[in-house]
Amino acid sequence: MRAVFLGMVAISIAIPAYAENPIKNGSFETPAVPKGSFQRFEPGDKIGAWTVVGGPVELVSDTYADGNFHFNAGRGHQWLNLCADPGEHGGIQQTVRVIALEHYALDASLGSVFDPQGAYGSITRAKAHIGGEGHTFSFHAAPSSDGEQQWGMGGEMDVAFGSTQRLILEIDGVDLDKDCAIDAVSMDGF
């Protein structure tokens, strides 16, 4: 995996409230990648219901390891790395349906190993933009000697939509971070 400063996830919104999570493949389980590896996807490629936009991304197995680091998934058996190439803005997009003027909560798990002086870093940050509103999500890996990727809820963003809005979620890999992990993307109406 290579470093990148910024990746993004773009989702066009249009979902019924009080329904199941309308985001398909939010834990990036489709397509399956071989155990212990990752697969690179270029702009225009499909990752289940997602389409890659911007620069390349990587779908990573929860058994992938590099040296002493182990890159487990936040949920399920795979996760998405938006830091596939240095200087490229990797991202994905998906269209979902919402009810006009209803409130929705967007959640996403962010992850990183603890490598503050190394190539993988220890911080993953995300910024979501919806219809002029913005919110920053952040996750900081705790000091650890076990080399396991750590996961946490990057945060929750409450928003009210018109009938269709575009959601952009950008991942900022601090210090040329090669580990811009995102998993368990969900959206619920309330």
Identify the pLDDT of residue 15. 43
Torsion, Cα 160 162 166 169, to 10 degrees, reads 0
Identify the pLDDT of residue 190. 67
Identify the pLDDT of residue 162. 55
Q: Kindly write down the DSSP assignment for every residue of 164-188, as one continuous string.
A: SEEEEEEEEEGGG-S--EEEEEEEE
Single-letter residue type at 185: V
Distance CA 125, CA 103 (A): 24
Distance of CA 132 to the CA centre of its chain: 21
Distance CA 60, CA 37 (A): 6
Burial 125-154 (b: 16+ CB within 10 A, else e): bbbbbbeeeebebebbbeeeeebbbbbbeb
Identify the pLDDT of residue 168. 61
Identify the pLDDT of residue 42. 94
Among residues 84, 114, 102, 115, which one has the least CA distance to residue 4?
84
pTM: 0.81
Identify the pLDDT of residue 28. 95
Identify the pLDDT of residue 133. 65
Identify the pLDDT of residue 31. 97
Delineate the domains of the chain, giving CATH numbers in brackets. Answer: 6-189 (2.60.120.260)
pLDDT digits (tens), the chain, 190 positions: 443 334 444 444 444 445 467 788 999 999 999 999 999 999 999 999 888 887 788 999 999 999 999 999 999 999 998 888 766 767 788 877 666 666 777 788 888 888 888 888 787 766 665 555 666 777 778 888 889 999 987 666 666 555 555 566 665 544 456 777 889 888 777 6
